[in-house]
Amino acid sequence: MSAKTTLHFIRHGDAIPELGAAFDAATGYDVLGLSAKGRVQARALAARMAATTDLGAIYSSPTLRARETADAIAAATGLAVRLEPRVREVYLGSESVEHVAAQDRARIVKERLASLAVIAIRDGSWAAVPGVEAGSEVRARMLSAVDEIVAAHPDQHVAIVSHAGSINAYLASILGISRDFFFPIGNTSLNSVRIAEGRPLLLRLNDTAHLERGRWNADLEIDAPAQRGAASTPA
């Protein structure tokens, strides 16, 4: 019988900056870690995975919000996190807010993220954004990373903590969808693909059951916004 590898693609937890949050103005949102809501989401996800999935490995985008989500899973499972730069988010041009007054930077970042979400859902890509990474390049690097991960982990379950745009692009490529962005993916959602003999099978999409009150998170305080997972925002 051929080996089967099950990949669990996970969008990082919420990282939308609270108004007044301080961060590196030159790099903006891209260096932010999880918000308070995102940390709750990550703990709920980690509890679910520890209880339900015999993980063999955890891979993560190097971006802080992804690493912190992966770290929560690692803490619950005893596994180490392996950084994989090819599962980083789509490059969406300069994130600098150096030209904006300090007290307005978090607001401007939130407004830009909302604008990017509108573009992605409307157009199915971010091609209209100046300086954006080409969708074909995102698909190629995601497929390359997946091929290597599958080869390294036969008959194992693997968590891959990534981002909304890159997960969309990968899933679109295996499903034969031309749009690089075809669904609004929730924070910490599970998107699982089983691969055998090079053939992918989509098992679940945008699963955020761990953000509903239940057996995996009975001891966590999860409010309604956390349950919704900020599904419409990119990155």
Alpha carbons 26 and 9: distance in angstroms, whole number: 29
Candidate from 77-86, 124-133, 191-200 with smallest mean pLDDT: 124-133
Task: Express as a percent the part of the chain with pLDDT over 90.
Answer: 62
Q: Please give the average per-residue pLDDT across 89-98, as a whole number.
A: 72
Residue 229: per-residue pLDDT: 41
Given pLDDT bands bounded at 50, 70 and 90, which one contains residue 212? confident
pLDDT bin (cut points 50, 70, 90) of residue 228 is very low
The whole-number average pLDDT for the span 28-34 is 69
Which domains does the chain show, CATH number per domain? 4-228 (3.40.50.1240)
Interval 148-176: pLDDT, tens: 999 999 999 999 999 999 999 999 999 99
Provide the pLDDT confidence category of residue 231 given band limits of 50, 70 and 90. Answer: very low
Q: What is the pLDDT of residues 94-122, one digit of tens each?
A: 665 566 666 566 677 777 778 888 888 89
